[in-house]
Amino acid sequence: MNRLVEKGFRPINSLNDPDDGHVWSFRQKLLLGFSPREYFRQVLHNRLNWVIALIFAVGLPLILYRYVMGLGAVTHASNDYPWGLFLGFGLFVMVPLSASGFLLGTAVELFGQSKFKPILHLALLNGLMGYSFAVVYLLMDLGRPWRLYYPMFVSWGTAAVLFLVGWHVAIYLSVQIMEVSESFFEWINWPNAKRFIKSGTIGLTVAGIILSTLHQGALGALFTYAPGKVHPLWYSQEFLWIFFLCSSVFAGLCMVIAVSTIVEKTMAWRCSRDFLENLEPITIGLAKGASMALVTYFVIKLIGIAHDNEWAYLATGWGAWFMLEMFLGVVLPIILFSIAIRKNSVGLVRFTAFLTVFGVAMNRLDTALISFNWNLYQEIPHPFELIISVTLFTLFVVVYRFILYRLPILYSWKTAPSAAYGTAAEEKLGPDLAPAPAYRSSSGPPRG
């Protein structure tokens, strides 16, 4: 796609066709301005799509198999290990990595940090995507997924932490849908709906903070029901929810850095100049926030060990694993971030962000799966379980990319009036839209 844009292709980023001023049809917007044939060629041309197709070819039948034959056919989840990879990865890893929405929402909308504005919509979308897919993974894992709404409408188990998780994720999901729908309404050209959402931004943002504080913490508090089953180094009755909440801060920030890196490398054509030019200072800014949270997390983890007097465990094999997690996911990132911030090295920040995301994933998997039943026996996930988890993650990437290609997330939607186009309109459309009159002619686009 980057190459097509170099050759003069202009993906749709405005209400009207800048050449003749007609309003783009929904289908044209869906196809980014290609004809169906061109679009299909472009899809086939992308090698990543072939990999995705291969993963789906293997994974989708397995998902069907799971719904026909039951969970036992595709997982090693058992009476001793009730929660496997679907929840371990899909819920406990995806949710902290999706904290970006509320963090950037707070920074931009609430604290007025407008320098983060160009990345705000990406952060909001990242939040929405992560939570949506946490629910998708949940639907895979629940014994009776068609009863997902039961805790909301049928029977209330109000004393359960999971009840909080369910309600808050459900409410927060709707908050995030509303936040992201701003871009959607722009895209489908419903200005009134957009204005309505916009008027409630502050309310939605505050709701986002409340709900995120509670359910990020609640995911940690879930494990306080399993004292003795989770290894003491990963278990802390009083602090577990604070650990989860605090680590979700740098998890979310690093996830935005990671995603924006991928976006910049693979779909620069879809990014506005505003986004691309500001990305480096934004990345450094996010890294500063993340390293604050990392230092805090490191300190409270130390307090946690001291509070429960778990020093002796550090000398065991579990302690070595724990220290490896802390080193890779917390200490090393703190060191690398501080070097990168001082040297203003965006590359190092990005590397560190990926490392931190890995560290958070490791922490959640350690808590939910690896150190769980530490004095019983180790469970290795079923190969099908792994394949389905990867398939769902691939679906996550596909949907993520589908939205980024179309909705004004990485660029801003131009609503120039149809009457004024030509030179004046091009000026207004912004410098990122390099005028390329040759391409739109009927003779057909150049192909690479």
Partner 1 sequence: MSRRRFLKATIAGGALALYSTKSALGMAEFGGYPEGMGVLVDLTRCVGCRTCEAACNREQGLPEPDLPFDDPSVFDQTFHGGTQKRRTDEGAYTVVNRYETKGSGGPVYRKIQCNHCNEPACLTSCFVNAYTKTKEGAVIYNQDLCVGCRNCMIACPFRIPAFSYSSAFEPRIWKCIFCYDTRLKYGKPPACVDACPFGTLSFGHRKTLIKIAHERIRSEPEKYVDHVYGETEVGGTSWMYLSGVSFDQVGFDSTLQHYPILDNAKSFLSTVPMILAIWPALFMGFHLLATGGKGEMEDKESQNGEEGRGE
Binding to partner 1 (CB under 8 A) within 62-81 occurs at: 67-73, 75, 77-80
238's CB contacts (< 8 A; 6+ apart) are: 307
Our CB check for partner 1 shows the closer of 182 and 264 to be 182
Q: C-beta of 267: minimal distance to partner 1 in Å?
A: 23
Minimum CB separation of residue 177 from partner 1 in Å reads: 15
Q: Which of 414, 433, 439, 445 binds partner 1 (CB under 8 A)?
A: 414
Give Rg (Cα) of the chain.
23
Provide the residue type at 427 as one letter.
Answer: E
Least separation in angstroms between residue 17's CB and partner 1 is: 16
Interaction pattern, residues 220-249, with partner 1; x per rule: CB under 8 A = xxx-xxxxxx-------xx-xx--------
For the segment 146-165, give every residue that binds partner 1 (CB under 8 A). Answer: 147-148, 150-151, 154-165
Selected range binding partner 1 among 109-117, 250-258, 304-312, 313-321, rule: CB under 8 A: 109-117
For the segment 13-42, give every residue that binds partner 1 (CB under 8 A). Answer: none
> CA 107 to CA 92: how far, in whole Å?
24
Nearest by Cα to 71 from 158, 141, 164, 150: 141
DSSP 311-371: GGGGGSHHHHHHHHHHIIIIIHHHHHHHHHHHHT-HHHHHHHHHHHHHHHHHHHHIIIIIS
> By C-beta, is 228 or 383 nearer to partner 1?
228
Minimum distance from residue 162 beta carbon to partner 1 (Å): 4
- The span from the CA of 70 to the CA of 65, in Å, is 8
Interface positions, 201-220, toward partner 1 (CB under 8 A)? 201-203, 206, 209-210, 213-214, 217-218, 220
Among 22, 36, 43, 82, binds partner 1 (CB under 8 A): 82
Q: How far is the CB of 287 from partner 1 (least distance, A)?
A: 21
Check if the beta carbon of residue 166 is closer than 8 Å to that of residue 135.
Answer: no
Options 317-325, 395-403, 414-422, 433-441: segment touching partner 1 (CB under 8 A)? 414-422
Cα distance between residue 201 and residue 105, in whole Å: 9
Two tokens, residue 254: 């690093």
For residues 370 and 88, give the distance between their C-alpha atoms in angstroms, rounded to a whole number: 10
Ranges assigned E (strand) in 146-296: none
Question: Distance between CA 9 and CA 435 in Å, rounded?
Answer: 10
Scan residues 124-143 and list those touching partner 1 (CB under 8 A).
141-143
Whichever of 30 and 148 has its CB closer to partner 1, that residue is: 148
Count of residues that interact with partner 1, criterion CB under 8 A: 76
Spatial distance between the Cα atoms of 132 and 136, rounded to a whole number of angstroms: 6
Does 252 participate in binding partner 1 (rule CB under 8 A)?
A: no
Report the C-alpha gap between 255 and 377 in whole angstroms.
33
CA-based nearest residue to 230, from 367, 322, 359: 367
Locate tokens 């660029």: which residue? 411
* Minimum distance of partner 1 from residue 328's CB (angstroms): 27
**What's the closest the beta carbon of residue 438 comes to partner 1, in angstroms?**
26
Dig out the tokens for 187 from the structure.
């895209």
Q: Would you say 375 or 442 has its CB closer to partner 1? A: 375
Q: Which of 36, 61, 200, 446 binds partner 1 (CB under 8 A)?
A: 200
> Min. distance of Cβ 443 from partner 1 in angstroms?
32
Instruction: Write the interaction track for partner 1 spanning residues 360-399; mark x where CB under 8 A is met and - where it is not.
Output: ----------------xx----------------------
In the bound state with partner 1, the residue whose beta carbon lies nearer, of 61 and 203, is 203
- Residue 115 in contact with partner 1, rule: CB under 8 A: no
Contacts (Cβ under 8 Å, ≥6 apart) of 71: 77, 141, 143
DSSP state of 23: B
Question: How near is the Cβ of 104 to partner 1 at its closest, in Å?
Answer: 13
327 part of the interface to partner 1, by CB under 8 A? no
Nearer to partner 1, 75 or 283 (CB): 75
Q: Running DSSP on this structure, what letter comes out for residue 108?
A: I
User: Tokens standing for 53?
Assistant: 């197709």
Hey, is 372 helix, strand or coil?
strand
Residues 166-195 that bind partner 1 (CB under 8 A): 166
322 near partner 1, rule: CB under 8 A: no
CA end-to-end span of the chain, whole Å?
Answer: 9
